Structure formats: structure tokens, C-alpha cells
Amino acid sequence: MALEHAILVSLLEKPGSGYELARRFERSIGYFWTATHQQIYRVLKRMENDGWVDVRDVPQQGRPDKKEYSVADLGRAALSSWLQDPIEPESVRHDLAVKIRGAAFDDPAVLTREVERHRQAHRDRLAHYRAGETRDFPGPEASTAAPGAPLDAERELQHVVLRGGIAYEQMMIDWLDDVLATLARFGPSR
Amino acid sequence: MALEHAILVSLLEKPGSGYELARRFERSIGYFWTATHQQIYRVLKRMENDGWVDVRDVPQQGRPDKKEYSVADLGRAALSSWLQDPIEPESVRHDLAVKIRGAAFDDPAVLTREVERHRQAHRDRLAHYRAGETRDFPGPEASTAAPGAPLDAERELQHVVLRGGIAYEQMMIDWLDDVLATLARFGPSR
DNA sequence: GGTTGCTATGCAACGAGTTGCATAGCAGGA
DNA sequence: TCCTGCTATGCAACTCGTTGCATAGCAACC
């Protein structure tokens, strides 16, 4: 499992509350790891008990107080240990692929609409990622302007992960086009 | 959830025992949906109770008896209903992406080795898929040789799903190359 | 004869993830 | 004033998936 590790990475990049973490899991981190606020609060509590994170009560004006979490030494050690630990290449879970094979035993027209919906969703995500890239990583080598600062690594790694998300969405769009073309080939004849 | 639906599709393609299903989930179906034999047996039992599948005791020589499952009318209806039901485009879970962003706070050399391992695993899978494609789908239009038989749809859909697996592995390999190049750029300077 | 290994099925316990619900302060608009 | 909506946190119940273990028949090999 890696939710606690994803939280550690996010808190290292910037300390924050459970609520803020939940926000981030809808944005950048959420591109490759989803989590609801429930999971986050639960895991944060456990991490606090284990001494992985420090908590600080932050009063706010105009809104409820928040608990700001930051990574403690034990948490850093735990993350480091996990990073050393090899993981298995993840196995995929594609509901849509099940549906596509299942369409052989049902109405393909329904599947066509479903695939079109998914393609649109992936198009939207791709546009969203590209906008984020333009906003956060402008200019070809602008990121290496500062000479050898360690912050560069953080940014470059964030960028390469984002490029992964873009490549994934592009691949999905292309493949769904292939699926639609395949459906069109034998769909009308029925 | 779609494990029961994946099982239904697999049983429609060909009836079989829980053990045989587990085998298939290590092969073709497993390309896009993983399941252990435990899950399969548990779900099969539930599906049997719900009348989704029929069971038949098959004595075998030289090996233990098996229970052969096939899809009942109720199961077919359940699958059909699920196929009609729109699903959300799946959210990704990439441990490796978490690790990559985490590498900014740890030794990047360790990550380099990890990424190389994963790239090799994806290369292996890609080779495996391509071999399966050559074996099961030879010739450009050989599949459409039989005139308009419904079996064509089944094969074509299996093929397009396999092409999706191939596209995914190829994309991952390209991206991991990108990751390695990025790591090489600032890795040595530390 | 004992060990290993494959087919074939299953229980029990645990951990992770989802869903529904609850609380509470405060802001802004109808 | 009431309703909606956002910040902020949390409980409880449930489902799903993983892991370890157990059983049992039979084949092949040393």
C-alpha cells in the first residue's frame, strides 16, 4: 500500500491539513493516486499515532481551525525505507476492457456510446493536464535556470510524472479510436 | 465492481471451473483484470447462490473432479444490465509515480534501478502480448474470412483489447525512458 | 518410500477502499 | 430568515482484495 507514502511525499512537498491533502488528491497527486477525505483522515490519524507526522493547530479567521501536518523524522525514515523497497509493476484494472469483450454477447451500439463518453473524458483530462503543464512548466529549459538547486529535482520529477499522465491519456484516446473503428466495422452489419 | 462481470464474460466465451478461470486470469483476461483463486471461488459461490451460473460436476481421470460453471439466464441478464450501465472512466493508481516524486527527497540512484526493473517488466509483457497476437490473430484480414459470422465480433473484440494492452505497454516503456533520461540529467550532479 | 509439484477447492483473518451520514462555523444570496 | 455552499473533521458499516493456511488426489522423480 502506498497511500501513507503518497501523503508523506505530498507533505514533504508542502505541509498541510487533511482537507488540503484531499484537495491535492483531486488535483496533481490525484492524477496517479486517488483518495477520499475519509481515507486521508483515517491514515493521518494512524500516522500521527505512529509518530510519522507532527501536528500543529492553526487558528484561522473566517473559517474553522485546521490541523496542519508535517513530516517527522520517523515518517521520513519510513518513506525512505519504502522507496528502497522494490515494488511489483502494477497490474491494470480496466472495466472498459471487460465491457468491450462482453459486447460480443450484447448490443454493440450501447458500447459505442459508452466508448465515446470515455474518449471525451480522456480528452478533457488531457486538455486539463496540458493546461497544467503550460501553467506550471513554461519554457523549454526554464526549470534549469537556477544553477543546480535541489528544488530543480522536485520540479523536474513532478514534470516527468505529469508527462506520464499526458502520455497515458493520449494513448487511451488513440486506443478508443481504434475500438470505435473496430466496432464500426462489424456493428452496422448486424 | 466488475469481477463477477469479468467472470461472466469469460464463462460466455467458454465454460470452465474456478481453477480454469484462475488460469485465464493469469493470461488473457488477466491483461486487464487480475484476480486470485480465492476471489474467484468466493464470487462463483455467490453467483451460484444468486442463480447467475449453473454448475455441473465433471469427473476426471488422473486428477480431482471439477465443477464446471456456465452462465445461466439470470447471469446473462445481469451482464446485459451492467453493460447498459455507464461506468466512470477509471482512476489510475501508480505506485511508481509516487516513488518518482518521492525520489526528490531521497537517493535517485535507487529509483533509477527500480525504474529500469519496471521497464524490463513492461518489455517482457509487451513481448508476451506480441507473441500472443501473432499466434491468435495471424494475417491482416484473416479474421473476416468467414462471412459475417457472429464469432468474428468476439475475435475482433478480443483483438482490439489485446491491442490496447500492447499500446499501454509501449507507452509505459517510452515514458520510463523519459523518466530515466530525466533522472540522468540531474542525478550525476548530486 | 519420501519429496516435489500440479490440479482443484476452500476457510479465516486482515487490511484497504467506498459510501452514507453527522457536525460545525461562517459567507453570500434569495 | 432561510437556504445553499464551502471549509474542516470525523464515525460506522460495508464491500473488496490479499495473505496465510488447509485439504486432497494423483504423477513423476530420486
List pLDDT tens digits, range A136-150: 898 765 444 444 444
pLDDT value for A140 = 66
Residues across chain B: 190
Q: pLDDT band at residue A152, thresholds of 50, 70 and 90?
A: confident
Q: How far is B59 from chain A (nearest CA, A)?
A: 30
State how far the Cα of B16 lies from the Cα of A54, in Å rounded to an integer.
54
The answer to whether B89 and B133 are in contact (CB under 8 A) is no
A119, HSE (Cβ side, Cα atoms, 13 Å): 15
Q: How far is the CA of A38 from the C1' of D18 (A)?
A: 22
pLDDT digits over B87-141, tens only? 888 777 788 999 999 999 999 999 999 999 999 999 999 998 999 899 899 876 5
pLDDT digits (tens, 9 = 90+) for A21-51: 999 988 878 888 888 899 999 999 999 999 9
The Cα of B181 is separated from the nearest Cα of chain A by a number of Å equal to 10
**pLDDT under 50 in chain B at which residues?**
142-150, 190
Contact B168 A110 (CB under 8 A): no
- What local confidence, expressed as pLDDT, does residue B147 receive? 47
For residue B53, list its beta bridge partners: B71
pTM higher than 0.85 for the full model? yes
**Best CA proximity match to A47, nearest among A84, A83, A10, A13:** A10
Residue labelled with grid coordinates 533509477: B112
Separation between Cα atoms, residue B166 and residue B160, nearest integer Å: 10
Residues A156-182 pLDDT 10s: 999 999 999 999 999 999 999 999 999
Task: Give me the pLDDT at residue B141, please.
Answer: 55
Rg of chain A, C-alpha, whole Å: 21
Whether B52 contacts B4, CB under 8 Å: yes
Q: Say if the Cβ atoms of B33 and A97 lie within 8 Å.
A: yes
Q: What's chain A look like in SS3? A: CCHHHHHHHHHHHCCECHHHHHHHCCCCHHHCCCCCHHHHHHHHHHHHHCCCEEEEEECCCCCCCEEEEEECHHHHHHHHHHHHCCCCCCCCCCHHHHHHHHHHHCCHHHHHHHHHHHHHHHHHHHHHHHHHHHHHCCCCCHHHCCCCCCHHHHHHHHHHHHHHHHHHHHHHHHHHHHHHHHHHHHCCCC
- pLDDT value for B190: 47
Using DSSP's 3-state secondary structure scheme, residue B155 falls into: helix
Q: B145 is written with which cell numbers?
A: 474470412
Closest residue to D27 (CA to C1') is B62
Average pLDDT, chain B: 88
Identity of the residue in B90, B105, B114 whose CB atom sits nearest the CB atom of A93: B90
Residues 6 or more apart whose Cβ sits within 8 Å of residue B54: B69, B70, B71, B72
